[in-house]
Amino acid sequence: MESGDRSTAAEANGSGTPAAMSQCAIAGFATGLLGLVVPCCPVIPVVAMVLGWVARGRIRRDPNLGGGRLALAAMLLGGAGMLLQGLVIDWFTNRFRETVELRSEAAIDALMRSATEADAEGVQANWGESSSVAEVLELGGIARDRYGWFRGISVVGWTYGGGFAEPDVEAAVIWNFEGRDLTGSFRMRLVPGTTISDPFPTPMPIELLIADDREGPLQVPGASTVPAAPNAEGASEGG
């Protein structure tokens, strides 16, 4: 019979005193249960497994310690908790990406429609850099003149970056206009969620690029959206 199966010291060492229960086994079992109840911290199941393993070793070495089955249960609960934690993290990651990408597309769509319609309030509400609202409006006006009204975007691929402190996401896209489709990109700053009911971030556009090899790219911020005018020297030579 395993030492953990001893219920009394009479079974363990011939005395009539009940065997002392391993505190490490108790802690491991409680931690294993906690890992199932709180499936958002992957450290908890690992701690439960370690405590259960340590308790099993101590019980084998000390005939006066009981709790072998509890220690084994702690290890099993820890393993189950790790599996559950992995499933929850995988679900949350997929949900996070899906929400961020849908919100990013909606924000860019609203921003570009406002820009091409010369709606300053709409641009202000959907653009993440207040200092360059005028540039976005300028970009929208030039895009409308060149390509017609904005119809939407088709996302080609997503890239997540920016680090933990200032996360962002960038998308390679095809801009769909009334008269022409063009490649380009946009970048979003991810503003962290502040409520339990909606913990996912709010994307705010901070960079736009419409790549146009014929008439020149449109970009905010960075290169001017206004096509370069010929200098006076070049104009006189041409004349």
Per-residue pLDDT tens digits for 103-120? 999 999 999 999 999 999
Letter string b/e over residues 211-238, b meaning 16 or more CB atoms within 10 A of that residue's CB:
ebeeebebbbeeeebeeeeeeeeeeeee
* 202 and 174 share one domain: yes
Q: What is the pLDDT of residue 98?
A: 94
> If you average pLDDT over residues 41-48, what whole number do you get?
89
The mean of the pLDDT values for the chain is 84
Which neighbouring-strand residues pair with 153? 175
Q: Is residue 191 part of a domain?
A: yes
Q: What is the CATH number of the domain that holds 126?
A: 3.10.450
Q: What is the pLDDT of residue 65?
A: 86
* 80 and 103 share one domain: no
* 51 and 158 share one domain: no
Final residue of a domain: which of 89, 108, 123? 89
Q: How far apart are CA 140 and CA 218, in angstroms?
A: 9
Final residue of a domain: which of 89, 121, 141? 89
> If you average pLDDT over residues 82-88, what whole number do you get?
89
Q: What is the pLDDT of residue 29?
A: 92
In the chain, % of residues over pLDDT 70: 85
Going by pLDDT thresholds of 50, 70 and 90, the confidence category of residue 140 is: very high
Going by pLDDT thresholds of 50, 70 and 90, the confidence category of residue 134 is: very high
Residue 218, pLDDT > 80, answer yes
The predicted model scores a pTM of 0.69
* 105 and 211 share one domain: yes
Peptide bond before residue 221 is cis, with ω within 30 degrees of 0: yes
Least reliable range by pLDDT among 63-67, 102-106, 186-190: 63-67
Structural domains counted in the chain: 2
Final residue of a domain: which of 64, 89, 114? 89
Per the structure, the complete domain to which residue 172 belongs is given by 98-233
Going by pLDDT thresholds of 50, 70 and 90, the confidence category of residue 8 is: very low
Q: How far apart are CA 136 and CA 123, in angstroms?
A: 7
